[in-house]
């Protein structure tokens, strides 16, 4: 699978409170409404500018802070297909896999410019941007199986043998 | 055989293996899965999986704490969904709005046990590592999958060892140490890593100190943090009834750690995390005089009886400054009871503090003390991200209970040490 998209570039330590503010965690439950608040405290015009297929690019420790899954769902629902970062917070990374938002850890994050269009080849682990080609380890093992099932819920249904029920 | 870290031993034991390698993926059956107000959202994900019953009702722990009592209709409806689910699934370890912060209650109720595998849909689940458990935060969908299957995958983390020596000088505590470590290594300094606290200094740390250090490991990016069980652990376990079998696991003395850090407690000073990141370190004296409109003592980080005693000692016979409001949140109703028994509530009330109910309070900006634009808050909580307390134009400083109490009296950031010269 290949992902082609325009990049929104941010810095280091982008935390889940600025991706999806804590004050909405129990008052906003519709994914489409979550998308309207995506990046609200960091980049207030994000939700108006973002479109289907776009990519978020960030520095180190992307998604640090709270374990709230809305910080993944709001980006996915806003149309974001992948996040490319120097590194991810551990829970955010797992949440991405479990919710079907592709997390790519790559030093390409340092050189990709805001607004640039990049291509990510998931099978072969290749990221193509203006500054050249970068490789990353393709998803393997359980992580690959969860992604290929379309997330943790379908994966668990398969695990429990209830996929056709 | 090569020497093993705590993380390797815990995950090997839990997956029925002799040893596991760093980076390896293993499957484990957690002893307990923690969640809170988010249990309603987890229940929706659980329904989507399509099984009728949770796999192990006795391994599910739920405590309502994030917005208690409910601030409005939406929160109330959310709480009701949790209560309905708990009743339908016959989950016994359910604690309603009166009980306290989930991480504190988990420990008080005997779910934090040496060698246990504790997972939780809250980033501060790592707090239970203070008891020698392998305790990690997970996401909501993962929690739903654990409810359904009783199982989760874990990648074996590398280990960072933090060696402690000496004891804290007067006016300095574990929070000052945590803020210093995070300032030194950064908010991603322990990303994906297991943090093992060790060294002679550990015997000088109370369980409250250890819970704080494990709690704040989340702010270094750690997967988990741990203290090996000792006499202090036994003293705590004797007060609660452990809910599952313990297994005492400790790292081999010469296990391979990616990095070892050393901290001498005697040389530490009162510290701060300045807006808007937890690794933005300064000493309290460097920022002395910065006006604070609100001061907060409590949360899963610093709401234990030891913290309230320290704060009361600073506040005894003093008043909260005009223009500053002090909010005090005991971490649980057990802590609150102890506070009343010791008469600390009188000190807080006479000082002019607002004495609140056990719970997370305004830590995540939902209710009970949100900030206005331009205001600054000094708080014992663990996060100071922009907008965290409900307003993105406000400023949050993190500090120890002593520093927060001293600052509330001064009306501005103050060094709480006896020779700090502020009080």
- Over B209-236, what HEC string results? HHHHHHHHHHHHCCCEEEECCCHHHHHH
Contact flag A61-B221 (C-beta cutoff 8 Å): yes
User: In residues, how long is chain B?
Assistant: 423
- pLDDT at residue B423 in the model: 43
How far away is chain B from the Cα of A124, in angstroms, using its nearest Cα? 21
How far away is chain B from the Cα of A76, in angstroms, using its nearest Cα? 15
Residue A84 or residue A22, greater confidence: A84
CA dist., res. B215 & res. A53, Å (int):
37
Q: What is the pLDDT along chain B (423 residues), one digit of tens a residue?
A: 579 999 999 999 999 999 999 888 899 999 999 999 999 999 999 999 999 999 999 999 999 999 999 999 999 999 999 999 999 999 999 999 999 999 999 999 999 999 999 999 999 999 999 999 999 999 899 999 999 999 998 989 999 999 999 999 999 999 999 999 999 999 999 999 999 999 999 999 999 999 999 999 999 999 999 999 999 999 999 999 999 999 999 999 889 999 999 999 999 999 999 999 999 999 999 999 999 999 999 999 999 999 999 999 999 999 999 999 999 999 999 999 999 999 999 999 999 999 999 999 999 888 999 999 999 999 999 999 998 998 999 999 999 999 999 999 999 999 999 876 444
Contact flag B145-A23 (C-beta cutoff 8 Å): no
Residues ≥6 apart with Cβ < 8 Å to A156: B49, B144, B145, B148, B149
Contact flag B137-A15 (C-beta cutoff 8 Å): no
Contact flag B74-A60 (C-beta cutoff 8 Å): no
Share of chain A above pLDDT 70, in %: 99
Contact flag A25-B149 (C-beta cutoff 8 Å): no
- The tokens for B346 are 């009188």
Other residues' Cβ atoms within 10 Å of the Cβ of residue B47: 14
CA dist., res. B159 & res. B26, Å (int):
17
Whether B136 and B153 have beta carbons less than 8 Å apart is answered as no
Q: Where are the alpha helices (DSSP H) in B32-190?
A: 39-49, 73-88, 102-108, 140-149, 174-185
Whether B113 and B131 have beta carbons less than 8 Å apart is answered as yes
With beta carbons under 8 A apart, name residues in chain A contacting B221. Answer: 61, 64, 89-90
- pLDDT at residue B1 in the model: 59
Q: In chain B, which residue's Cα lies nearest the Cα of A13? A: B187
Confidence of residue A141 (pLDDT cuts 50, 70, 90): confident
Nearest Cα neighbor of B6 from B185, B163, B133 is B133
- pLDDT at residue A156 in the model: 93
Contact flag B141-A99 (C-beta cutoff 8 Å): yes
- pLDDT at residue B421 in the model: 46
- pLDDT at residue A165 in the model: 53
- pLDDT at residue B331 in the model: 98
Contact flag B50-A157 (C-beta cutoff 8 Å): yes
Give the pLDDT mean for A23-51.
Answer: 91
- pLDDT at residue B422 in the model: 46
- The tokens for B362 are 């305004």
Give the pLDDT mean for A139-155.
Answer: 86
CA dist., res. B54 & res. B144, Å (int):
9
User: In residues, how long is chain A?
Assistant: 165
Task: Compute the Cα dihedral for B328, B331, B337, B342 and give only its sign.
Answer: negative
Q: In chain A, which residue's Cα lies nearest the Cα of B383? A: A65
Other residues' Cβ atoms within 10 Å of the Cβ of residue B85: 22
Phi first, then psi: give them for residue B103, nearest 5 degrees: -70, -35
With beta carbons under 8 A apart, name residues in chain B contacting A28. Answer: none
How far away is chain B from the Cα of A165, in angstroms, using its nearest Cα? 8
Query: Which residues of A lie closer than 8 Å to B, measured between beta carbons?
Result: 12-13, 15, 17-18, 21-23, 25-27, 29, 41, 60-61, 64-69, 72, 87, 89-91, 94-95, 98-99, 141-143, 151-153, 155-157, 159-160, 162, 165
- pLDDT at residue A164 in the model: 59
Contact flag A153-B45 (C-beta cutoff 8 Å): yes
């Amino acid at each position: 699978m290949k992902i082609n998209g325009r990049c929104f570039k941010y810095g280091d330590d982008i935390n889940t409170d600025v991706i999806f503010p804590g004050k909405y965690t129990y008052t906003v439950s519709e994914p489409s409404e979550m998308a309207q608040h995506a990046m609200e405290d960091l980049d207030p015009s994000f939700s108006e500018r973002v479109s289907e297929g776009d990519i978020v690019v960030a520095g180190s420790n992307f998604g640090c802070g709270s374990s709230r899954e809305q910080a993944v769902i709001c980006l996915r629902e806003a149309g974001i297909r992948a996040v490319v970062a120097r590194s991810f917070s551990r829970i955010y990374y797992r949440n991405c896999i479990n919710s079907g938002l592709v997390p790519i850890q790559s030093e390409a994050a340092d050189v990709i410019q805001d607004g640039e269009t990049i291509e990510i080849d998931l099978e072969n682990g290749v990221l193509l941007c203006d500054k050249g080609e970068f490789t990353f380890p393709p998803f393997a093992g359980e992580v690959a199986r969860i992604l290929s099932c379309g997330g943790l819920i379908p994966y668990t249904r398969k695990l429990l043998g209830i996929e056709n029920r | 055989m090569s020497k093993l870290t705590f993380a390797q031993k815990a995950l090997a034991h839990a997956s029925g293996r002799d040893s596991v390698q760093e980076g390896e993926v293993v499957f484990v059956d957690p002893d307990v899965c923690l969640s809170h107000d988010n249990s309603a959202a987890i229940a929706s994900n659980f329904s989507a999986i399509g099984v009728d019953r949770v796999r192990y009702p006795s391994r599910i722990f739920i405590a309502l704490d994030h917005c208690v009592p409910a601030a409005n209709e939406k929160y109330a409806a959310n709480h009701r969904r949790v209560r309905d689910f708990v009743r339908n699934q016959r989950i016994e370890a359910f604690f309603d709005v009166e009980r306290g912060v989930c991480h504190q209650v988990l420990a008080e109720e005997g779910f934090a046990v040496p060698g246990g595998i504790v997972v939780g849909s809250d980033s501060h689940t790592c707090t239970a590592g203070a008891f020698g458990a392998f305790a990690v935060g997970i996401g909501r969908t993962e929690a739903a999958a654990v409810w359904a299957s009783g199982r989760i995958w874990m990648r074996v983390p590398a280990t960072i060892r933090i060696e402690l020596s000496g004891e804290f000088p007067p006016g300095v505590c574990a929070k000052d140490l945590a803020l210093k470590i995070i300032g030194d290594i950064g908010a991603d300094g322990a990303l994906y890593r297991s943090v093992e606290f060790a060294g002679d200094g550990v015997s000088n740390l109370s369980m409250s100190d250890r819970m704080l250090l494990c709690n704040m490991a989340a702010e270094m990016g750690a997967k988990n943090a741990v203290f090996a069980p000792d006499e202090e652990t036994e003293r705590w376990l004797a007060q609660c009834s452990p809910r599952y079998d313990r297994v005492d696991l400790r790292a081999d003395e010469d296990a391979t750690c990616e990095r070892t850090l050393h901290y001498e407690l005697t040389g530490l000073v009162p510290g701060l995390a300045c807006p808007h990141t937890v690794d933005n370190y300064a000493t309290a004296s460097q920022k002395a005089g910065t006006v604070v409109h609100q001061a907060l003592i409590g949360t899963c980080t610093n709401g234990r009886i030891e913290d309230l005693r320290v704060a009361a000692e600073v506040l005894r016979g003093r008043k909260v400054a005009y223009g500053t409001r002090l909010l005090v949140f005991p971490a649980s109703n057990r802590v609150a009871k102890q506070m009343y028994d010791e008469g600390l509530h009188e000190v807080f009330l006479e000082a002019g503090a607002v004495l609140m109910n056990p719970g997370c309070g305004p830590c995540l900006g939902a209710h009970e003390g949100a900030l206005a634009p331009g205001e600054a808050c000094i708080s014992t909580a663990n996060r100071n991200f922009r907008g965290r307390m409900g307003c993105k134009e406000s400023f949050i400083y993190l500090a120890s209970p002593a520093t927060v109490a001293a600052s509330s009296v001064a009306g501005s950031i103050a060094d709480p040490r006896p020779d700090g010269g502020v009080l």
